[in-house]
Structure 1
Amino acid sequence: MDVQDVIPLPNSKKQFRSIELKNGLCALLVSDPELEWNGSPAAVSMAVRAGNFLDPPEAQGTYAVLGSDKFPMENALDNYLNMHGGDSIAATDDDHTIFFLFAESKLLKHVLDM
């Protein structure tokens, strides 16, 4: 997606910028100066073409937010968000998964690293 593909609503003050991440994923950044929230809000949403059809036969329908090499504790991201007033939600369908989180913008760099 290129930022030229995004058609802003009339009279909207939202600003858009597209970037490509180091892992090759494309991201669309949206800034909304009219959004009201305690602190300085940041939100991230992601959709990937991977869903239940890719579950291994021995683990069909299983979902868990596991850790990583850098953050090995299970549910580390959710625990961190909950401790700092943020939240996340994910949903997996047959062929895709969507993920959304919000947090204070000062925490965003660490949250994205997690």
Structure 2
Amino acid sequence: MTSKHLTAGARIGRFLGLAYKKYARSEAKAFQKLPIALAMAIKVAVRAGTVGFLLYFLLLPMLLAALAVALLVGLSRSSIDLHVDFAPSEPELMHGNDGYGLYQDGIRIG
């Protein structure tokens, strides 16, 4: 036996379907007296404008947030790069550009 209680998803889907049906009926009623070419041109222009409006106002904050994150990451990395250690390092034995030997600060000293 099935329940008559609808899930939240089914109620939302039904609401959206009925809203779209109402919109489609009112759109058809509004454009029925216009020539078909003019009605289609107006529909396309309105829909393109709506999509452009939504893209502008939904993507702009996202792009600004991404720019802010990139700026913060860049600033955090640059603060590490700006640290300069003026104390000379200890000499160490290693393989360097001039072969194996004693190097200090990347320069072979022995």
TM-score (norm 1): 0.23
More strand by proportion, 1 or 2?
Answer: 1
Larger Rg: 2
TM-score (norm 2): 0.23
More helix by proportion, 1 or 2?
Answer: 2
